[in-house]
Amino acid sequence: MTAPTHIIASISAISFVSLLVPSYNLGLSHFIVGSIFSMLPDIDNPRSFIGRILFFFSTPVDRKFGHRTITHSFLFLFLITSVFYLFGFIYTRSLVIPLSLSCTVFISYFSHLFFDSMTKQGILAYYPSRLWGVFPRRASWRIRTGSKIEILYFTIFTISSLVFLPLGQSGVIQAFNRLFQSGGVDLRLKEFELKKEKAAFGFTPSQIDSLLSAGAIDPKQASELKSKFYEIEVQLEKFKKDQGLDE
């Protein structure tokens, strides 16, 4: 497949993952990294977009290994992801911070391998084994690079990205709640507000502090009232979060 198709396919893939994993928050850096690493397997082809830019690397790799061999393998996929994570760890001194972008590297690079396996030639996915990786197995069902079918794929990936991105930013549950929020949710919110009023006898924390300052209640009473108020407040916030209303 061509570079534009690989780029939009990777964006579609990481957007889909962000839709399933709310903690996988996408930013500009994810799209930049994803775009770069979605093209990187073609570093073995001097005629590819990235191969022309990094000709000093692509030419010797092509001569030594050939196109769609070592850089299109699962071995190279794990190697690249591991090296990226290692550099991220060295730079941030954190085991957690580099994870998000490292996942982007893995997803984007893998998407390239997967979609290239759908072409007529396939890839040496199991390098150094000479076993070619193709999907589907029947050659007549696979596509040619630059064909009309690839243009169709490009269109599908573009539409998918436009759908997955906004959903992924807010999460599936939150999106559905915004679309199909029922009166039952509003009723529950009102119940929580009533519970707060009853727990603190209708007083807010600031009003309780005022009563304490005025000597109307003692510190123990003030503490108990505020404790009950905040307990209901925590329950309310949890309910809002579960319903996707915490923004």
- Global pTM reads 0.67
Residue 60 pLDDT grade (very low, low, confident, very high; cuts 50, 70, 90): very high
pLDDT top residue among 140 and 125: 125
pLDDT at 190 over 90: no
**Do 151 and 190 sit in the same domain of this protein?**
no
Last residue within a domain, chosen from 170, 194, 226:
170
Q: Is the dihedral of CA 174, 180, 181, 184 positive or negative?
A: negative
Alpha-carbon distance of 67 to 109, in angstroms, equals 16
Is residue 129 in some structural domain? Answer: yes
H-helix or E-strand containing 181? none
Mean pLDDT of 35-58: 93
The reported pLDDT for the residue numbered 169 is 63
The crossing angle, in degrees rounded to 10, of helices 3-20 and 28-39 is: 130
- Residue-wise pLDDT for 198-221, tens only, equals 666 677 888 888 888 888 777 887
- Which whole-number Å values give the CA distances from 20 to 23, 38, 117, 176, 238, in the listed order? 9, 21, 25, 13, 20
pLDDT top residue among 116 and 147: 116
Least confident window among 2-6, 18-22, 106-110: 18-22
pLDDT at 22 over 80: no
Is residue 175 in some structural domain? Answer: no
**Do 129 and 187 sit in the same domain of this protein?**
no
CB atoms within 10 A of CB 64: 10
- Residue-wise pLDDT for 105-128, tens only, equals 999 999 999 999 988 888 999 998
Angle at CA 159, nearest 5°, toward 178 and 172? 25
**Do 15 and 91 sit in the same domain of this protein?**
yes
**Do 138 and 236 sit in the same domain of this protein?**
no
The reported pLDDT for the residue numbered 56 is 92
- What single letter denotes the amino acid at residue 20? L
Tokens 């972008």 sit at which residue? 101
Alpha-carbon distance of 185 to 106, in angstroms, equals 39
The reported pLDDT for the residue numbered 247 is 52
Is residue 56 in some structural domain? Answer: yes
**Do 68 and 139 sit in the same domain of this protein?**
yes
- What single letter denotes the amino acid at residue 36? I
SS3 assignment, position 54 = coil
Alpha-carbon distance of 57 to 213, in angstroms, equals 74
Alpha-carbon distance of 116 to 238, in angstroms, equals 45
Closest CA to 161 of 15, 4, 7: 15
Residue 59 pLDDT grade (very low, low, confident, very high; cuts 50, 70, 90): very high
Domain count, the chain: 2
> In terms of residue numbers, what domain contains 41?
3-170
Alpha-carbon distance of 201 to 33, in angstroms, equals 55
**Do 38 and 131 sit in the same domain of this protein?**
yes
Which tokens is 238 given? 């949890």
Mean pLDDT of 126-136: 87
**Do 84 and 186 sit in the same domain of this protein?**
no
